[in-house]
Copies of this chain bind each other. A is one copy, B any other.
Amino acid sequence: MTTQDETSAATLDADRVQGHGYTANKEAYLRRLKRIEGQVRGIARMVDEDKYCIDILTQVSAVTKALHAVSLGLVEEHIGHCVVGAASEPDPDLRAEAIDVKVKEAADAIGRLLR
């Protein structure tokens, strides 16, 4: 997890003061992930009980969709919080660098989601 270490001091300070973008919705994320965990366990049960492959695939698609929704929420909060936070850095030089880092991180993360 070197990503965080690479971010400029300015944005790290901002993060420290404000928490992460998803912090406000932390409980909602934990609930969603708990539900996804249960869905994965349900798929294992279906395999164990020799359920029909197509029905298992339907459940796998549902979990993938639920994970996409979680990703999208995190990306939105990264943009609205980390990118915008970087753009609010008062020192112009630090700001330009911080924006570059945060936008690049967002684009890389979205690229990984698309693959």
Q: A-side interface residues toward B, CB under 8 Å? A: 1-5, 15, 19-23, 26, 29-30, 33-34, 36-37, 40-41, 43-44, 47-48, 50-58, 60-61, 63-65, 67-68, 70-72, 74-84, 86-88, 92, 95-96, 99-100, 103-115
Contact A60 B53 (CB under 8 A): no
Query: Which residues of the partner chain B approach A104 to less than 8 Å between Cβ atoms?
Result: 76
Query: Which residues of the partner chain B approach A80 to less than 8 Å between Cβ atoms?
Result: 99-100, 103
Nearest Cβ distance between residue A5 and chain B, in whole angstroms? 7
| Chain A binding surface, main DSSP class | helix
Question: What is the chain B residue whose CB lies nearest that of A63?
Answer: B67
10 extra interface residue pairs, beta carbon distance < 8 Å, beyond A20-B51, A53-B81, A64-B64: A1-B55, A2-B96, A30-B48, A54-B106, A56-B74, A57-B78, A68-B114, A80-B103, A83-B87, A110-B110
Q: Which of B71, B78, B86 contacts A61 (CB 8 A)?
A: B71
